Amino acid sequence: MVRRAPFVHARRALERVAFATESRPAPAGLRRALRRAGLALVALAACSSAGDPEIDPIEARVEALLDQLTLEEKVAMKGGAALVPMDGIYDAGGLERLGLAPYRMVDGPRGVRSGNATAFPVGMARGATWDVELERRVGEAIGREAHAKGANVILAPVVNVLRHPGWGRAQETYGEDPAHLGAMGSAFVEGAQEHVLASVKHFALNSIENSRFEVDVQVDERALREVYLPAFRRVVQDAKVASVMSAYNQVNGAYCSENAPLLTDILKGDWGFDGWVESDWVLGTRSTIEAANAGLDIEMPLATFFGDELLTAVRRGYVKARTIDDSVRRLLRKHVEFSLDAPAPRDASVVESAAHRALAREVAEKSLVLLANDGVLPLATGARIAVLGPLADVANLGDHGSSAVTPSSVVTPLAGLAAIADATLVETSSAVKGFDVAVVVVGLDADDEGEFIPPNGGDRVSLGLAAEDVALIREVAARVPTVVVLEGGSAITMEWIDDVSAVVMAWYPGMEGGAAIASVLVGEVNPSGRLPSVFPRSADDLVPFDPTAEAVTYGLFHGQRALDRDGVAPLFPMGFGLSYTTFEYSNLVVDGRTVTFDLTNAGEFAGVETPQLYVTFEGSAVERPVRALADFTRVELAPGETRSVRLEIEDADVAYWDGGWIVESIAYGVEIGRSAGEIELAGRM
């Protein structure tokens, strides 16, 4: 257990008070900070008389509460309260006798799943913004709405690696790259935890949907530590996430909810996680003794293996009383730390507020990725636009499973375009004659991908569009210049791409998505999204993906890194995205781990570039990726403007795992790219 000296607590708490007071409104953060400060000062006073500088005020309170609990009460706290939620909220972990409010958990990653709420673009869209500060604001807004709904835990973010774009829940995570995922997930948690606890999920290696309840993912220690766990580690250690949800699947022969190497050795041991772990929902817990001893703190949504079975196991000595105490301490610790018994007042007006809708729109605008453009975009002023395709006038927000969010209204692409341009919905491809340009909106929906709730959702076996969508694109493109707007949760293959004038990847863009699409198409907004995963020419170029797999082996390579290793050119590399302007890179300086260079907007539009820093490895003792992403940033530049950009390399970006982290003394190359496939500057560290 991490014990923090009280003066450190007091100082941090007072700093937070100062910060929260400056950056109004932050009621929950401020209240927590004040409470911490109060507790810390009380402890300071107590220590000065008792002479013990090591008493942590939170831990002291936790011990005082723990002392009052019976074994029955402790065990009861380790199980969820009901199979069916009330208004989307699942309770667990409270104790009425002592007035301890329960944890009240609500989904999820693109907004709050309780009544109407702001529907943000999905996680993958937010990954495409590469905008860490924006993701912090999204987390803050979702946390604020969760609190307003009466929840105190948000079941998000998802930081599972997108190993293959066929994964049905691809849309919920941020992308395929460990460094990018960790940065985005941490930002969400820091924002959300201003108001509620966040529960990062699904720990770990959850990236096949259809066989998720059974599949056994075999992985060696190196791939585990270097590829599949870094984002979780960062969310735990840097963002101090309060809760972790174990995954449904097995890892190396043990279900994640009873996986001692994952839960006890790595999460709670190596990383010093001091919060609690809950299982994923129905079928997420598979045993009583194994799960309790492996470090599962709460069985959700209902105690079936825990509850009476667990009580009996403790009485018979199969589970130690101190194991139960460790769990209950974790539950109490976050309860005290987040002041759950003195919550800030709830303010329903924040839900779908103008500010949150504006944020949803800003995110959508920044997430759209311009993939191809022969000059047709931005659309000419006054152009007569034919809008068609099955998704043109549909609220297409993403999957209908646990991440579903219900906003009270949605701006469709047609509505967005019609509001600011001369746009008309047309029914058949021959009707586009006489229009200047056609916008065809096609892609995927909740029937095609998402959480597998048969017969809907699940994994994708083909990465292409439906045959009728391809036929429509080709028929329209034969008649007028055609812009294809794609919706979907991850990569789509595009054998038709040479037939069209432009392609925009819009993901599932949230409740304001149509307005964002329109702004980008007419040039009110210069597109700035960048792909958070590789888009291959063909699924054959990727690692194999079998949604029915009962066992699968994961290694060091997938996505962009696998294509780089195999020397296969992608359709679009990770990090790719066009703009209405052009950028120039110059003057690379590598000074130790600090990399600086100049970036110039060489075109006529103001625009945003996302330079990416990749590291290469020369003469390593072990097999390495051709290049590994280390850092990135977004830079906004006026036409003709030049700025100096600074990026950093950390040990974690270059280390490899061999029973511990090893930073080799070898020649590391430094590459600055527009994407993983467009390296603009190169040097040496």
Binding mask 196-215 for ligand BGC (x = CB under 6 A): -----x--------------
Q: Could you tell me the smallest distance in angstroms from the CB atom of residue 158 to ligand BGC?
A: 7
How many angstroms separate the CA atoms of 224 and 230, rounded? 8
Contact with ligand BGC (CB under 6 A) among 281, 507, 585, 614: 281
Structure tokens at 645: 């950009």
**Complex with ligand BGC: residue 281 or 576, whichever CB lies closer:** 281
Residue 304: enclosing H or E segment and its boundaries? none
Q: Which residue is nearest to ligand BGC (CB)?
A: 402
List, in order, residues 6 or more apart from 349 with CB less than 8 Å away: none
How many angstroms separate the CA atoms of 384 and 390, rounded? 20
Q: Could you tell me the smallest distance in angstroms from the CB atom of residue 612 to ligand BGC?
A: 30
**Complex with ligand BGC: residue 203 or 273, whichever CB lies closer:** 203
Neighbours of 418 (CB within 10 A): 18
Q: Could you tell me the smallest distance in angstroms from the CB atom of residue 231 to ligand BGC?
A: 16
Contact with ligand BGC (CB under 6 A) among 56, 280, 445, 512: 280
Residues within window 554-593 making contact with ligand BGC, judged by CB under 6 A: none
Contact with ligand BGC (CB under 6 A) among 95, 155, 298, 391: 155
Structure tokens at 243: 């809760």
Binding mask 56-95 for ligand BGC (x = CB under 6 A): ----------------------------------------
**Can you name the residues that pair with 438 across neighbouring β-strands?**
386, 482
**Complex with ligand BGC: residue 167 or 281, whichever CB lies closer:** 281
**Complex with ligand BGC: residue 169 or 627, whichever CB lies closer:** 169
**Can you name the residues that pair with 443 across neighbouring β-strands?**
487
Identity of the residue numbered 481: P
List, in order, residues 6 or more apart from 233 with CB less than 8 Å away: 182, 271
Crossing angle, helix 27-50 and helix 6-22, to 10 degrees?
Answer: 150
Q: Is 111 in the site for ligand BGC (CB under 6 A)?
A: no
**Complex with ligand BGC: residue 88 or 527, whichever CB lies closer:** 88
Binding mask 468-507 for ligand BGC (x = CB under 6 A): ----------------------------------------
DSSP string computed for 445-498:
-TTTSEEEETTEEE--S--SPPHHHHHHHHHHHTTS-EEEEEESSS----TTGG
Q: Could you tell me the smallest distance in angstroms from the CB atom of residue 245 to ligand BGC?
A: 6
Identity of the residue numbered 447: D
Q: Could you tell me the smallest distance in angstroms from the CB atom of residue 201 to ligand BGC?
A: 5
Sign of CA dihedral 451, 456, 457, 458: positive
**Complex with ligand BGC: residue 193 or 501, whichever CB lies closer:** 193
How many angstroms separate the CA atoms of 475 and 603, rounded? 34
Active site residue 374: no
**Complex with ligand BGC: residue 251 or 613, whichever CB lies closer:** 251
How many residues make contact with ligand BGC (CB under 6 A)? 7
Which of 280, 445, 448, 653 is the catalytic position?
280
Q: Could you tell me the smallest distance in angstroms from the CB atom of residue 341 to ligand BGC?
A: 25
Q: Number of C-alpha atoms within 13 angstroms, CB side, residue 385?
A: 30
List, in order, residues 6 or more apart from 312 with CB less than 8 Å away: none
Q: What is the dihedral of CA 462, 463, 468, 470, to 10 degrees?
A: -140
Q: Could you tell me the smallest distance in angstroms from the CB atom of residue 112 to ligand BGC?
A: 12
Contact with ligand BGC (CB under 6 A) among 107, 145, 194, 680: 107
How many angstroms separate the CA atoms of 506 and 128, rounded? 10
Q: Could you tell me the smallest distance in angstroms from the CB atom of residue 104 to ligand BGC?
A: 13
Per the CB < 8 A criterion, the answer to whether 539 and 493 are in contact is yes
Can you point out the beta strands (E) in 276-368?
A: 276-278
Structure tokens at 356: 């949150």
Q: Is 108 in the site for ligand BGC (CB under 6 A)?
A: yes
Binding mask 385-414 for ligand BGC (x = CB under 6 A): -----------------x------------
**Complex with ligand BGC: residue 164 or 201, whichever CB lies closer:** 201
Residues within window 526-545 making contact with ligand BGC, judged by CB under 6 A: none
Question: Could you list the active site residues?
Answer: 280
- List of residues contacting ligand BGC (CB under 6 A): 107-108, 155, 201, 280-281, 402
